[in-house]
Structure formats: structure tokens, C-alpha cells
Amino acid sequence: MIVNQWYVVLESKQVGRKPIGVTRMGEKLIFWRDQTGSVNCAVDRCPHRGVALSIGKIEHGNLQCPFHGFEFDASGRCVYIPANGRDGRIPASLQLQNYPTFEDHGFIWIWWGDSLPVDLQPPLFFDNLDDSFMYGSKPDYWKAHYSRVIENQLDVVHLPFVHQKTIGRGNNMVVDGPVVQWDGDMKMTFYVFNRPDDGTPPRKPREIDLGEFKGVHLELIMPNLWQNYISDDVRVLAAFVPVDDQNTILYLRFYQRFMPVPVLGKLVAQLAMPANVIIAHEDRRVVVTHQPQPSSVNIGEKLIQGDLPIIEYRKRRAQLKNQV
């Protein structure tokens, strides 16, 4: 994992009135909402006797341990020890290890790391995806490292083979480019120019005029958000949520705004999800067989020109890891 980054870890609807315990980034974490409705996150372990706080409850607006009733506020500070009485002394060491959270667009992010910037900025999101869109969603579980799942969505070479009966139809096997552009350190956009084999070799990225571009492109926001820009009114989005080194949850969404009526628009978006899951499972069948897992720059693979988005991702991921 890349430390000191904002990671999407849950959908907002998963955190309600009761605490929820999940494994993310290889850690057991607890999420709960305080009296203001804000989401909080901490390591799912009471500092008193080490039990899971996620089987506790919210009491007086605080997270209550199920074992001895210790209560913790939104900052993770212990504010009440029943055995010591309401005005009893509370040791400063009774503090939860917590993580900053951010909630927007129906997602929950955590700042995962060991260094918190003084001027911590909100996580990036796709500025071309606003509230005029409605979406359907589905979580999908992959037994693979999140870096391998991300790379699959950067792979433009596999389409006519893995998806030959769905989105890869058309015999577009030759990969011109692809063209990759970075917007700062965290956002990559790449343009796909796959075509049938007419006997001419693939064009280099520098030989491609983006004036040929017809609108479809893909975007990645490091470390774990991806968008397929299908048209001005249709998108597919994925959050690649690390569970641990062998498991990833793919939060898959279909966005649309060609049907603007709220109830119908939401229904149309949700009805599109089964087809998107079928396509994702075509990928999953192959991705889970990758060796080794996770991905990195030097793992012995012999990459080709068409793998340029993957090469760029690996290089940027390595740079971010080395910044620590």
C-alpha cells in the first residue's frame, strides 16, 4: 500500500446508526457516526482489554465498548469509565488509534498513514462527474491485490480476448499509442486507439493527434479511483478498495444522466449494473491468476508499447511509495 494517502474504503450507505467493523489495508477498523452524523474511523480494538469495539454500540453519542462500558468520543478519546464513576480519573493513554475521514459522492475515504499534513486537503474526485448524474452500484469481491485490479482497468491490450463476446467485439487488436497524460501527480488520463490489423504497425504515442479522439477515455485518480468516460452522459466508475494483500473489494458504479427523471434515472442506472458485473467477472477470472501479487516496477514481466498506462501507473506508484 502507499501510505499517507486518501483511500476510498466504503460507501456512505454502509455506515448507519450502529458501528460497523471491516478489514481495510490489512487492519481491522471500526466506523461509526457521531451525533452530528459525521463518520469516524479507528482501529477496532479497545485500548483497555483489546476487544472489538465494533460489537459495541453508540451511547450518549459516544462509542461504547461492549466489555466494560468505556466510552470514546469522535476524536477517539476515552470520556467515561463506568468503574471509576462519572467524575473518575481517565488515563490519557486510553486513546483510540484513529484515522481522519472524508465523506462525499456517496463514498467514505480515510487518510491512511503515519504522517498527517498540517494543511491536509480533501481527496480528489472527478470534476466532470457532478450531481446531474444518477448511479447504480454493486460491490464485487476479488481475490487479488488492489494494484493488480487497478492495472486491469489500465490494460487496453486485453479487450478483444477477455471481452470478445461483450465490450471487446470488433477485432480491434492493434493498439495505437496509447496516449497517457498526467494532471499533477495524482491524476492520469489515457486515450485508447485500438483498431483492426491492416498490416501497418502500431503508431507511437507521439504520432497520434488527439484530434482523432472521439470522446471515450479513461481516468485514474491515485491511489484507488478510476473512471471510464464513455460519453458526456454515461460513465462507469470503480473504487478499488484494499482489504489486505490478497483481497480487494471493487465498488462498481454506473452513472447516467440521459434519463433525468430522478426515480426512473436511478432505476435505469441500477438496471445497468448486472451487465457491468458480467464484464467485471470476465476480467476477474484472469486477474486472480496473476503471479506475483502485488504488482510493482520490477517483477520480471516483459511489457510492450500497448502497456504504457500500466507502466506509467507502476512508476507513479513507486514514486509515491518512495516519498515516505
Domains of the chain: 5-112 (2.102.10.10), 134-322 (3.90.380.10)
Q: Averaged over 206-223, what is the pLDDT?
A: 86
Would you say 30 and 134 are in contact if contact means Cβ atoms under 8 Å apart? no
- Residue 214 reports pLDDT greater than 70: no
Of the pLDDT bands very low, low, confident and very high (cuts 50, 70, 90), residue 161 is: very high
Beta bridge partners of 137: 253
**% of the chain with per-residue pLDDT over 90:** 91
pLDDT at 216 over 90: no
Report the pLDDT value the prediction gives residue 147, as an integer from 0 to 100.
98
- Kindly provide the residue ranges of all beta strands, DSSP E only, lying in 157-296, ordered along the sequence: 174-183, 187-195, 217-221, 225-229, 234-244, 247-256
Dihedral of the CA atoms 67, 50, 247, 98 (nearest 10)?
100
Give the tens place of pLDDT for each residue, 122-157.
Answer: 999 999 999 999 999 999 999 999 999 999 999 999
Supply the angle between the helices 262-271 and 273-287 in degrees, to the nearest 10.
30
Inter-helix orientation angle 146-154/273-287, to 10° = 110
At residue 17, the pLDDT reads 85
Taking 90 as the threshold, does the pLDDT of residue 324 lie above it?
no
Question: Would you say residue 211 has pLDDT above 90?
Answer: no
Angle at 294 between CA 291 and CA 297, to 5 degrees: 95
Q: What is the pTM of this model?
A: 0.94
Average pLDDT over residues 68-95: 95
Q: Is the pLDDT of residue 169 over 90?
A: no
Average pLDDT score over residue span 305-316: 97
Q: What does the pLDDT read at residue 171?
A: 84
In 132-144, which positions are buried (b, 16+ CB within 10 angstroms) versus exposed (e)?
A: ebbbbbeebebeb
| Reported confidence tier of residue 215, pLDDT bands at 50, 70, 90 | low
Mean per-residue pLDDT over the chain, rounded? 95
Work out the average pLDDT over 37-62: 95
